[in-house]
Each structure stands twice: as structure tokens, then as C-alpha cells.
């Protein structure tokens, strides 16, 4: 078995093991209801961390608007589930909602990728932030209702929908969607996480994944090797958006009132995911999953820590970046630890 | 007449954006980095003025002066501790992520000290303003002061850049750091000076922002900061008059769209402008072209 | 018919003519040198040939096919591969993956197969692995196949860059100052590598160099550029004896 294959299996194993442990704890009554409530969010944060790491670590472009794609996945799927709640049985309804969420997130990832991926570095990052905010603001101004005549849209308020008596407001502007069926659960969250990992890890270890990483490392050399840089950037960005959309589907089917609030979908939320990715290791997919789970659960469990949580994260973020990326620190590390390694190598010989 | 009022309000907000954008554009032009924490320097400045005013319960001038000094020190320290070690890092994302970390750090320190509740900020401008056209048009004092201050700062900066040795050093460092160093310019010191000026401007912008919109929270600076960056990009990053134009355009667009289109969508419109500008003319209104050498 | 035929190629940057009336004819199997002092326009010629810049005038033909206005990717597909003066490897990829990237336009399978590792994935990956290993062996890099490209010593990075270029199965290989930054030992090894590439792959090579000694040692034909214009062109011996060339280099 090759090393990559073994590594991937370990990653899946960790996720499955975590699932079993939590299930056992839950079945034996060792899990508080507060803790149970944290399990589903933990999975969707892990999923979106995987999505963002595909964008930041593998494609090499910083997005601070990824929660926007999550938002799209959440709203489109919740809309579908709400409209068809009475018509379809749970399982097919959720599967279709899931596909719709992913498809719309991917579509927006593609459309937004066309302009965004022409930019680089800081500009790209700030434009992803801009799009994330645009998505959030537009959804907040969106009203959709349904009555016997079909769908009604408005960008002003619910009254403007001009519906019949039997009409029902589905998307109510800043008040969002209320009463989406609770179709997602911990097992589904874990399944989606495993699928996301499967897709990303397989992609990395393929012809297309190598091309994406080649573009990241040196796009000029990639072009000279016949690699279509735009195509691969679009590919990675779209897949990343689709996975973020999947996280949104789990999210929206686990919450009673879905609103496009800054808390969940603003750039600060996106930055929170970025913290998971950086602390788990940029480009390290397994690290993202572990970091997302631990960093999400820890402060929720240690309430006393919660006050200082973000303070600690921000300091760790800064220190990690300097330790891992500063040319001087890297040189110093090589000098100090390089010598130690050499010495121990000699002794062993 | 109400249109005129909105236009003037837009000019005023735009002037604040312009002052913040000047900080962004100078730092970006010279250090080639997006100081994501710049907006939070504004918030720090506001809290300092707020605290000093509360302690002295009197003249806000002392508060403003202390805020300027402390923000300058904050800017210099941040640059030295967090950004300088990452100069020349293999990935340009490293320093941006660090700047995001600094932004988070400042917001959370403020959160611990002052709490999440919104403080009401007393305007530093005591003047009531003027009334024109038999009371039909009322312009607030803070609006006039903001516009005047921004013009003074613009002229001052232009003179500084073009007439002083340090200013010329900044121009040289923004063109080519290596060549500037060979010409005997201390690049590190020049970058530090840039941060100092940008941060001092952030403190001034903070005083004006919170005087016009008197609610202060740890997140006060974040959104105006990002919008000011949009303004800097719109005007052409690295260009001082560009930052001014970009700021004014953005402020006017924001106020007018809030009034005439939808307050819900005004941010979306502002960010939409950024997207369009970067697509049509990525270098902004007054920016220069840059090509990577093969 | 010549493999590469360039006629009246010109380009100006902001009114300054970087390359003017440039003509070049390279026959199949030749090792051709493009020399000239610094700033003579050598790299600009490379960038024109590989579509990084579009010429103001002139025609470039590869194997009879007009590639003048094509972009970098299309030109690579048409059969020109290159290396860079300042080495451009995929630093965070392993040595073998660098070569596999070069192969990825030749040995293809769909995105769907990439994501689910089904269909022809296994067979094509195996083919790619074997082909990459074969190439690495030729360049004596197979022992280091799994280490990161950035951890290779300088001389081997050059070799890997050439191996990656060869992986795209080019008709013409462009080498941009391959000996830049090398010590005499490494330079000698490089010359052996270039000789090897010609022998193993029957490759046509165009080489940029400002080191006269290196060029005169291995190239059969030379073109000397000065101030963006061809100063002299022909067999190496004749060119080196040309008084104009001596003047440009010594005066």
C-alpha cells in the first residue's frame, strides 16, 4: 500500500472512530444534551474547513467569503425542503435538497470564480469577502412566497409578494426561512464529511489535483507545461464551493430559523473557518478536520475558556504564521535543528 | 434640497473613508501588503478617545492627541512584531493571514476590556453647524469639520511626499525596495514611518467616524476599514489622490443607495462596485500597471 | 523543411524595440545557440516563441504549423517546451509529481475519474508512474523521486526542470541560460545532460547562453543578438571568427 493511500485510510478511520465513540457515549447516556447539540455543528464546520483548505491549501488562493457558499447551499436546500415538506417523504426530499444545495453552491462558485480567479493574492481575498457579503445582503433582502398561483418574488417586503389568501411566505427577508424540517443529524453529518474527504483526498491524488497544485506552486511553469491554468483554478474553486454548500445543507436542516446573519455567514465566520484551516495546517486536509472539531468543541465545553477563546486563537494564528513562514525563523530553525539532526545522524552511523 | 443633504452626508462619510483609505494605500504601496487590521486601529483610537474623555470629562482635544500617539505606536509595534518577520515569505498569503490575526486580536482585546455592549460616543465636534436657505438645508458641524480635515490631510500628505526627503524615500521604496536600499534608503525605517502615518490617520478617522455615527463597539472599525480598502482599490492602490477620489465616490454611493434604493442592499452595492472596478480596470482609477516578469 | 522557422519577428515595449527583424531557422536534431550580451533580447525571443509576448510583426512556424499568435498552453501542445533562467519548479510537489504534471496533457482521464478513482484511473496512473520513472532514470533522478522538488540540490533542480519539459513530449526544447548560477563542475554535468537529451530523445534544442565557452563547446550553429538585432548567424566556428561578434563581446 502506498503512503498516501495509508494516510487517507487513517483520515477516514479517525472520522469513523470519532463517530463510534460519540455514538457509544450517547447510547450509554454519557453525553449531555448540550454536548449532543454540538455534534452536528461540529460536522458541518469540519466539512467547510475541508472545503476551504481545498481552496487555500491546494489551490493556494485565500478566500474569506466561503461562508457565502455555505449560505447558498443552506438557503436553496432549505427552500426546497420547506416547499416540498408536505409532498415528499423525508429521505428522497433530503437527498434532492442536498443535491440542490450542492448544485447551487457549485453554480455560484463557478460564476463568482470567473471574475475572482482573474485576480491574485490580496485582491482575490478581498473580492471573495465582497462576494460573501453581497450574497448575505441580497438574501437578507429577498422575499419569496408560494400560493396556488406559484412562486412570488420581491426585494422589498413580504406585502409586495401580492399573494392569495392561501399564500405562504417561505423566505422572509432578514427573517429568513423558519421551520425547515430537521432532516440532518450526526450520522448524516459524518457521512457528508466522509464524502467530502473522499472527494478532496482523491482529487489531490490524481492528474487534476496535481495540475491544481502545480498552478499553485508556479503558474508560469504550469502554463509552459501545457496546463490550462484557468481551467484548474475554476475546477478547484467550484468543487470547494460545492463542498461548502454541502456544509450549508446540514446546517439549514439542523436549525429552526435560518437567517443570513453575520454570525453564521459573514466574513467573520469565514475567518473563523480560516483559523481552523491555518491551525490544522494549510494544505493538510486531515489537520483541518481535527482542528475544526477540537477548536469548535473545546470552547463550547470549557465555558470559562470561551471568553478568551478568540483572543487565544488570534495569538496562536499570528504565532503560527510567523513560526511557519518567516524566512528568518525558517533559517534559524534549519540552522539549529538541522545541526542536531546531522549530529544524531552521525551518531547513528 | 433633501438630495443635497444626502450628497453632503455622502461627502462627509466619503471623507472619512478617504482618510482611512490613505492609510491602506500608503501601506499597500510601500509594504505591498493588505493591513487587514487597519480598520481596527480606528476602533482602538475611538476607545482611547472615549476613555480619556470619560476620565477627564472635558476637552476632547487631549483625547484625540493621545489617541493619535498611541495608535501610531500601535501601528509601529504591529509592523515590527507581526509583519516585518514575514517580509519575503514564500507565500504572500502569510502576511495577510497574520494581519487577519492582528485584526482579531485587537477586536478581542477590546471585547475583554470594554465588553460587547455599544458605547455611545460623544462627538468631538461641539459646533452645531450652519443652516442655509432659510433652514431648508442644515449642515452639521461634524460634517463640515470632516470634509475640511480630509482636505487638509490630503494636501499635507502630498506636500510631505513630494517635498521632503522621507517622502521621496517612500516613493522610491514603493517603486523598488532593492534599488532604494542600494541608494542608501533605510527601507525598514521607511515602512515603519508609513505605518506610523497610516495609524495616526486611522486615529483621526476614528474620531470623525464616531462623532458622525456615535455608536462604539469592538467591531466599529471592521466594516469601515474594509470599505475604505475598497475605496483605495477603486482609486488605484498606491495613489494618494486616488484614495481621496475612491473614498468620496464610495461614501456618496453608499449614502445615496441607502436612501434611494435599499438600506439592506447598500453594502452589496458598495462591494459590487469593487468587483466591477477590479474586472474592468484592476488598477483602479489612478493606479499603475504591474506585470510579472518571466 | 526546417523544424522552427522564424521570419521578421519584432516587438517593441513602450517605443523601445526589444527585438527587431529577427530570423531563425533550426533544422530537426540541431543544437542551436542563441547568444548575446546581457539585455540583447535573448529571453524576449524565448518569450515570443512561447507565447508569453505576442509579436508586433513576424511569423513563427513550428514544423510547418503557424504558431505566431497562439498562447503559451497551445504552443506547448504544439510541441515547444522550455526551462527558465530562474528555475521554476513545482516546489511543494515531489520530484516524480513534477514530471507527472508534465505528462498530464499526454496521459489523460476525466475529472469524474479523478474524484472517484474509477474507470481508467488505475491504468492511466500506472502508465504515468512508469513513464515518469523512465524519464527520471534517464536524468538519474529516480533515487530522489519522492522528495520535494525544493529540497533537491541546485544542479539536480535544473535536471528536473529539463525532465519535466521532456515529459510534455516536445519537438523543440528551449533552455534559458541553463548554466546560470552553476559552478564549473555543475556546468560540465549540465553539458553532459544536454548531450544525453539529444542522444536519448533525438531532440532539437535551442539554448540561450551568454557564456561563450559553453556555447562554442556544444552548439553547432549560433545566432548572436545585440541590441535586439541579429548581429551574425551561422556555423559556430564562422560566427566566433566574425569581427563584429568579437567587437560586441570585447568592445
Whether residue C148 lies within 8 A of chain B, CB to CB, comes out as no
Q: Output the pLDDT for position A195.
A: 97
Per the listing, cell 436549525 goes with A255
- With contacts defined as CB-CB under 8 Å, which chain B residues touch C11? none
Q: Which three cell numbers stand for residue C13?
A: 515595449
Q: Output the pLDDT for position B107.
A: 92
Q: Output the pLDDT for position A348.
A: 40
Residue C222 has φ and ψ, to the nearest 5°, of: -135, 150
Q: Is B204 helix (H, G, I), strand (E, B) or coil?
A: helix
Confidence of residue A347 (pLDDT cuts 50, 70, 90): very low
Predicted confidence (pLDDT) at residue B293 exceeds the cutoff of 70: no
Q: Output the pLDDT for position A349.
A: 35
Chain segment B185-202, per-residue pLDDT in tens: 888 999 999 999 999 999
Q: Which three cell numbers stand for residue C137?
A: 532514470
CB interface of B with A, residues 214-273, below 8 Å: 222, 226, 229-230, 233, 262, 264-265, 267-268, 271-272
Q: Output the pLDDT for position C126.
A: 95
CA distance A328 to chain B (A): 7
How would DSSP label each residue in chain B? -HHHHHHHHHHHHHHHHHHHHHHHHHHHHHH----TTHHHHHHHHHHHHHHHHHHH-S-HHHHHHHHHHHHHHHHHHHIIIIIGGGTT-S-THHHHHHHHHHHHHHHHHHHHHH-SSPEEPPPS----EEEETTTTEEEEHHHHHHHHHHHHHHHHHHHHHHHSHHHHHHHHHHH-HHHHHHTT--HHHHHHHHHHHHHHHHHHHHHHHHHHS-EE-TTTTHHHHHHHHHHHHHH-TT-HHHHHHHHHHHHHHHHHHHHHT-TTTHHHHHHHHHHHHHHH-TT-SS--------
Chain segment A125-152, per-residue pLDDT in tens: 889 999 999 999 999 988 998 888 888 8
- With contacts defined as CB-CB under 8 Å, which chain A residues touch C151? none
Whether residue C44 lies within 8 A of chain B, CB to CB, comes out as no
Q: Output the pLDDT for position A346.
A: 41
Query: Which of A202, A209, A225 is the closest to C102 by Cβ?
Result: A225
Are A133 and B229 a contacting pair at CB < 8 A?
Answer: no
- Taking phi first (over 0 means left), then psi (-120 to 50 degrees means alpha), and beta for anything else, what does residue C5 get? beta
Whether residue A3 lies within 8 A of chain B, CB to CB, comes out as no
Under 8 Å CB-to-CB from A305, ≥6 apart: which residues?
Answer: A298, A299, A312
pTM for the complete prediction? 0.90
Nearest CA in chain C to A196: C115
Is B168 within a domain?
yes
**Domains and their CATH numbers in chain C:** 1-79+170-251 (3.40.50.300), 94-168 (no CATH)
Q: Output the pLDDT for position B93.
A: 83
How many domains does one find in chain B?
A: 1
Predicted confidence (pLDDT) at residue B288 exceeds the cutoff of 70: no
Chain segment A246-288, per-residue pLDDT in tens: 999 999 999 989 999 888 998 889 988 998 998 898 999 999 9
Predicted confidence (pLDDT) at residue A1 exceeds the cutoff of 80: no
Query: Which of A211, A217, A229 is the closest to C92 by Cβ?
Result: A217
Q: Output the pLDDT for position A341.
A: 53
Cα distance between residue C198 and residue C206, in whole Å: 11
Is B288 within a domain?
no
Q: Which CATH architecture fits A3-293?
A: Orthogonal Bundle (1.10)
Burial classification of residue A3, based on how many CB atoms lie within 10 Å of its CB (0-12 exposed, 13-18 middle, 19 or more buried): exposed
Chain segment A155-212, per-residue pLDDT in tens: 877 777 777 777 888 888 888 899 889 999 999 999 999 999 999 999 999 999 999 9
CB interface of A with B, residues 28-87, below 8 Å: 56, 60, 62, 64
Q: Output the pLDDT for position A46.
A: 97
DSSP secondary structure letter of residue B5: H
Whether residue A123 lies within 8 A of chain B, CB to CB, comes out as yes
Chain segment A32-55, per-residue pLDDT in tens: 888 889 999 999 999 999 999 999
Whether residue B109 lies within 8 A of chain A, CB to CB, comes out as yes
Could you list the residue range(s) of the whole structural domain that residue B80 is in?
2-280
Whether residue B294 lies within 8 A of chain C, CB to CB, comes out as yes
Query: Which of C88, C97, C107 is the closest to A221 by Cβ?
Result: C88
Residues in C whose CB is inside 8 Å of some CB of A read 50, 71-73, 76-77, 81-82, 84, 88-93, 97-98, 100-102, 104-105, 107-109, 111, 113-117, 121, 124-125, 128, 164-165, 167-168
Identify whether the C-beta of residue B62 lies closer than 8 Å to the C-beta of residue B81: no
Chain segment B122-179, per-residue pLDDT in tens: 777 777 777 777 777 777 888 888 899 999 999 999 999 888 988 888 888 888 888 8
Whether residue C84 lies within 8 A of chain B, CB to CB, comes out as yes
- With contacts defined as CB-CB under 8 Å, which chain C residues touch B294? 43, 47, 52, 84
Q: Output the pLDDT for position A328.
A: 87
Predicted confidence (pLDDT) at residue B290 exceeds the cutoff of 70: no
Predicted confidence (pLDDT) at residue B23 exceeds the cutoff of 50: yes
Q: Output the pLDDT for position B292.
A: 53
State how far Cα A126 lies from the chain centre: 18
Cα distance between residue B154 and residue A341, in whole Å: 56
Q: What is the CATH number of the domain that holds B37?
A: 1.10.3470
Q: Which three cell numbers stand for residue A13?
A: 478511520
Range(s) within chain A of domains with CATH label 1.10.3470: 3-293
DSSP secondary structure letter of residue C169: -
Are C109 and A224 a contacting pair at CB < 8 A?
Answer: no
Is B219 within a domain?
yes
Are A210 and C97 a contacting pair at CB < 8 A?
Answer: yes
Closest CA to B124 of B42, B59, B201: B59
Predicted confidence (pLDDT) at residue B273 exceeds the cutoff of 70: yes
Confidence of residue A30 (pLDDT cuts 50, 70, 90): confident
- With contacts defined as CB-CB under 8 Å, which chain A residues touch B268? 133-134, 137-138, 141
ipTM (interface pTM): 0.91
Please give the mean pLDDT across all residues of chain B.
Answer: 87
Query: Which ranges of chain C have pLDDT less than 50?
Result: none
Amino acid at each position: 500500500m502506498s503512503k498516501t493511500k495509508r494516510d487517507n485510510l487513517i483520515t477516514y478511520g479517525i472520522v469513523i472512530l470519532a463517530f463510534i465513540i460519540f455514538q457509544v457515549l450517547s447510547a450509554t447516556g454519557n453525553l449531555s444534551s448540550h454536548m449532543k447539540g454540538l455534534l452536528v455543528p461540529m460536522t458541518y464546520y469540519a466539512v467547510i474547513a475541508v472545503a476551504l483548505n481545498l481552496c487555500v491549501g491546494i489551490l493556494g488562493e485565500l478566500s474569506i467569503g466561503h461562508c457565502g457558499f455555505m449560505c447558498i447551499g443552506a438557503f436553496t436546500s432549505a427552500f426546497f425542503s420547506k416547499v416540498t415538506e408536505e409532498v415528499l417523504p423525508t429521505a428522497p426530499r433530503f437527498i434532492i435538497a442536498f443535491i440542490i444545495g450542492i448544485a447551487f453552491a457549485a453554480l455560484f462558485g463557478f460564476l463568482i470564480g470567473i471574475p475572482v480567479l482573474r485576480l491574485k493574492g490580496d485582491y482575490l481575498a478581498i473580492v471573495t469577502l465582497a462576494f460573501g457579503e453581497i450574497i448575505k445582503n441580497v438574501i437578507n433582502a429577498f422575499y419569496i412566497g408560494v400560493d396556488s398561483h406559484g412562486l412570488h418574488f420581491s426585494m422589498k417586503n413580504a406585502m409586495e409578494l401580492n399573494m392569495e389568501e392561501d399564500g405562504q411566505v417561505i423566505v422572509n427577508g432578514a427573517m429568513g426561512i423558519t421551520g425547515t424540517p430537521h432532516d440532518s443529524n450526526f450520522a448524516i453529518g459524518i457521512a457528508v464529511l466522509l464524502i467530502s474527504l473522499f472527494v478532496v483526498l482523491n482529487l489531490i491524488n490524481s492528474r487534476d489535483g496535481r495540475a491544481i497544485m502545480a498552478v499553485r506552486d508556479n503558474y508560469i511553469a504550469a502554463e509552459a507545461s501545457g496546463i490550462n491554468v484557468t481551467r484548474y483554478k475554476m475546477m478547484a474553486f467550484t468543487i470547494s464551493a460545492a463542498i461548502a454548500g454541502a456544509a450549508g445543507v446540514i446546517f439549514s436542516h439542523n436549525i429552526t430559523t435560518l437567517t443570513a446573519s453575520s454570525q453564521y455567514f459573514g466574513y467573520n465566520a469565514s475567518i473563523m473557518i480560516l483559523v481552523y484551516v491555518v491551525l490544522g495546517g494549510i494544505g493538510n486536509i486531515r489537520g483541518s478536520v481535527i482542528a475544526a472539531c477540537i477548536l469548535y468543541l473545546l470552547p463550547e465545553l470549557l465555558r470559562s475558556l470561551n471568553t478568551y477563546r478568540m483572543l487565544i486563537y488570534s495569538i496562536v494564528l499570528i504565532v503560527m504564521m510567523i513560526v511557519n513562514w518567516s524566512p528568518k525563523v525558517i533559517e534559524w530553525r534549519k540552522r539549529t535543528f538541522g545541526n542536531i539532526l546531522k549530529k544524531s545522524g552521525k551518531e547513528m552511523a | 434640497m433633501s438630495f443635497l443633504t444626502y450628497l453632503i452626508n455622502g461627502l462627509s462619510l466619503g471623507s472619512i473613508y478617504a482618510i482611512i483609505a490613505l492609510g491602506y494605500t500608503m501601506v499597500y504601496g510601500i509594504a505591498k501588503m493588505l493591513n487587514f487590521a487597519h480598520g481596527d486601529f480606528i476602533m482602538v483610537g475611538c476607545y482611547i478617545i472615549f476613555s480619556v474623555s470619560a476620565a477627564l470629562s472635558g476637552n476632547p482635544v487631549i483625547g484625540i492627541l493621545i489617541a493619535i500617539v498611541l495608535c501610531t505606536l500601535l501601528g509601529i509595534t504591529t509592523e515590527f512584531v507581526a509583519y516585518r518577520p514575514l517580509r519575503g515569505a514564500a507565500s504572500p498569503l502569510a502576511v495577510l493571514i497574520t494581519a487577519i490575526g492582528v485584526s482579531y486580536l485587537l477586536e478581542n482585546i477590546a471585547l475583554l476590556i470594554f465588553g460587547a455592549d455599544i458605547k455611545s460616543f460623544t462627538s468631538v465636534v461641539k459646533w452645531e453647524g450652519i443652516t442655509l436657505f432659510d433652514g431648508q438645508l442644515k449642515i452639521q458641524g461634524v460634517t463640515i469639520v470632516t470634509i475640511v480635515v480630509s482636505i487638509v490631510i490630503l494636501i499635507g500628505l502630498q506636500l510631505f511626499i513630494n517635498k521632503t526627503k522621507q517622502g521621496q524615500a517612500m516613493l522610491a521604496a514603493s517603486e523598488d525596495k532593492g534599488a532604494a536600499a542600494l541608494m542608501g534608503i533605510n527601507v525598514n525605517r521607511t515602512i515603519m514611518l508609513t505605518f506610523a502615518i497610516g495609524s495616526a490617520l486611522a486615529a483621526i478617522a476614528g474620531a470623525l467616524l464616531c462623532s458622525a455615527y456615535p455608536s462604539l463597539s469592538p467591531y466599529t472599525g471592521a466594516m469601515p476599514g474594509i470599505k475604505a480598502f475598497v475605496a483605495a482599490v477603486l482609486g488605484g492602490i498606491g495613489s494618494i489622490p486616488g484614495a481621496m477620489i475612491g473614498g468620496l465616490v464610495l461614501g456618496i454611493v453608499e449614502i445615496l443607495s441607502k436612501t434611494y434604493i435599499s438600506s439592506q442592499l447598500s453594502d452589496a452595492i458598495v462591494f459590487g462596485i469593487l468587483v466591477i472596478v477590479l474586472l474592468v480596470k484592476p488598477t483602479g482609477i489612478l493606479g499603475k500597471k504591474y506585470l510579472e516578469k518571466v | 523543411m526546417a523544424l522552427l522557422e522564424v521570419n521578421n519577428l519584432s516587438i517593441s515595449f513602450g517605443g523601445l524595440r526589444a527585438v527587431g527583424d529577427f530570423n531563425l531557422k533550426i533544422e530537426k536534431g540541431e543544437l542551436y545557440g542563441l547568444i548575446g550580451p546581457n539585455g540583447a533580447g535573448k529571453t524576449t525571443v524565448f518569450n515570443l516563441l512561447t507565447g508569453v509576448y505576442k509579436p508586433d510583426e513576424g511569423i513563427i512556424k513550428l514544423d510547418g504549423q503557424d504558431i505566431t499568435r497562439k498562447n503559451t498552453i497551445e504552443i506547448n501542445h504544439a510541441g515547444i517546451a522550455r526551462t527558465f533562467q530562474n528555475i521554476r519548479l513545482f516546489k511543494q510537489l515531489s520530484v516524480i509529481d513534477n514530471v507527472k504534471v508534465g505528462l498530464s496533457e499526454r496521459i489523460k482521464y476525466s475529472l469524474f475519474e479523478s474524484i472517484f478513482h474509477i474507470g481508467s484511473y488505475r491504468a492511466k496512473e500506472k502508465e504515468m508512474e512508469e513513464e515518469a520513472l523512465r524519464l527520471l532514470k534517464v536524468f538519474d533522478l529516480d533515487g530522489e523521486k519522492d522528495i520535494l522538488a525544493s529540497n533537491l540540490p541546485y544542479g539536480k533542480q535544473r535536471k528536473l526542470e529539463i525532465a519535466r519539459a521532456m515529459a510534455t513530449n516536445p519537438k523543440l526544447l528551449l533552455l534559458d541560460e541553463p548554466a546560470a548560477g552553476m559552478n564549473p563542475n555543475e556546468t560540465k554535468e549540465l553539458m553532459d545532460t544536454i548531450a544525453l537529451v539529444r542522444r536519448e530523445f533525438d531532440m532539437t534544442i535551442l539554448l540561450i547562453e551568454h557564456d561563450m565557452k559553453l556555447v562554442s563547446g556544444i552548439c553547432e550553429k549560433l545566432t548572436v543578438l545585440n541590441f535586439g538585432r541579429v548581429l551574425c548567424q551561422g556555423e559556430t566556428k564562422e560566427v566566433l571568427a566574425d569581427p563584429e561578434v568579437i567587437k560586441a563581446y570585447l568592445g
